[in-house]
Structure 1
C-alpha cells in the first residue's frame, strides 16, 4: 500500500468517526426535543431499579435526558471522547459502546436506590473515559497512551467529582459502573498486533 493510500484510509476513518458522533449527538437532541414537546413522555424509558419490566429500558435510557441542561452537559464530552474512540474502527467502537451501555444499565437496575429514575449518556461517557484512559497502555500504543493522558487531564477532575456519592440528583452508581465497564472493555476488546509477514 502506498503512502497516499494510507493517508486516505486515515482520512476515511476520521470522517467516519466525525459523522457517526455528530449523528449520535444530533439524535440525542432530537429525542430531547420530542420529549419536551410530548410533556416529557419519554422520561418513562429511564431505568427504575429492580422492576422486571424496566429491563427493556436499559438501552433506551442511555439516549434520553432530563432536560436540555442535562443533555448540554453531556454533549461535548460524548462528542469528543466518542470521536477519539471511534477512530479505532466504527464496528469495534459500536460493540464497545453497546457493551458499556448494557453493563452500566444492568448495574443501575441492580443497585440504584429504589424509586429512582435514571437516564442519560453519562454512564457511556464515563465508560469511554475509562476505555480511552487505559486502552493505550493495554495495547502498548504510545499514541493511545498520549490520548489517555490528554483525556485524563481535560476531564479527570470532572470524572472524580461525578463519582462522589454526596451529589443530589446524580447517579454516581451509573457513573462508577460505566467507568468500570469502560476499563473492562479496554481489556476485552483490545487490539492484538498483526502477525509479522514472512516470505
Structure 2
C-alpha cells in the first residue's frame, strides 16, 4: 500500500512539473511561430503601470532558445525539490518568487527595459529551499539546503550581482528574497498550527 501511495505521489509531482515547464515551452514556440504577436513586450517594464502585468507573464516569456533551455534545468531540479514534502511548498515558492522577482524588476530595473524569463523563479526556488532548511530545522530540509548551496551557490551569488549585461539581476535577487519570505511564512504558519 505504501509503495502504491509513494508511486502516486511521484506521478502527481512529475505531471505537475511537466505541465508547468511545458507551458513555458508552449508560449516560447508560440512566440517564435507568431512573432507579430510581440509577446515578449508583456514582460516587466520598470515603473510603468502597464509594466506591472509582467509580474504574472514574465516567467513564461523568453528571448531565445538558449534562454529558456538555461532556465529549464533549474526549474525541473529545484521545482521538484520544492514539491516535497507537500505540493503546497511548490506553489508557495512559485508565488513568492514571481512576486519578488517582478516587483524588484519593476522597482529597480533600468527605464524602458523589459524583464522576461523564468530565472527569477529558479532563484526563488533556491532561496525557498535554503530558507526552509534554516527555518524548519528539519534534517532532510537542512540536507537539501546544503545540496542546493553546494550545487548552485556560486552561480546564484554572481546572478544577483549586476555583472552580466542584459541579465536581470533585479529579478534574480527579488526572486530569491521572495522564496526566502515564502519559506519563512510557511514555517511561521506551521508553528502556529502546532501551538494550537
Q: TM-score, normalised by structure 1?
A: 0.89
C-alpha offsets along residues 139-179 of structure 1, whole Å, 9 cap, x if unaligned? Answer: 12101111111111111111112122121000111111111
Deviation at 1:93, TM superposition (A): 2.1
Where do 5+ consecutive residues of structure 2 fail to align? none
Structure 1 counterpart of 2:47, from 41, 45, 50: 50
Structure 1 counterpart of 2:65, from 65, 68, 73: 68
Structure with the larger helix share: 2
Q: Does 1:36 align with 2:32?
A: yes
Separation in structure 2 between the aligned mates of residue 10 and residue 183 of structure 1, nearest angstrom: 28
Q: Is the 8 A contact 1:62 1:101 kept in 2?
A: yes
Residues 110-149 of structure 1: matches in 2 within 5 Å?
A: 110-149=107-146
| Larger radius of gyration between Structure 1 and Structure 2 | 1
Q: TM-score, normalised by structure 2?
A: 0.90
Residues 84-103 of structure 1: matches in 2 within 5 Å?
A: 84-103=81-100
Structure 2 match to 1:21: 17
Structure 2 match to 1:167: 164
Separation in structure 2 between the aligned mates of residue 103 and residue 158 of structure 1, nearest angstrom: 19
Separation in structure 1 between the aligned mates of residue 96 and residue 176 of structure 2, nearest angstrom: 12
Residue correspondences, number? 192
Q: 1:195 to 1:51 in 2, by over 3 A?
A: closer
Deviation at 1:16, TM superposition (A): 1.5
Where do 5+ consecutive residues of structure 1 fail to align? none
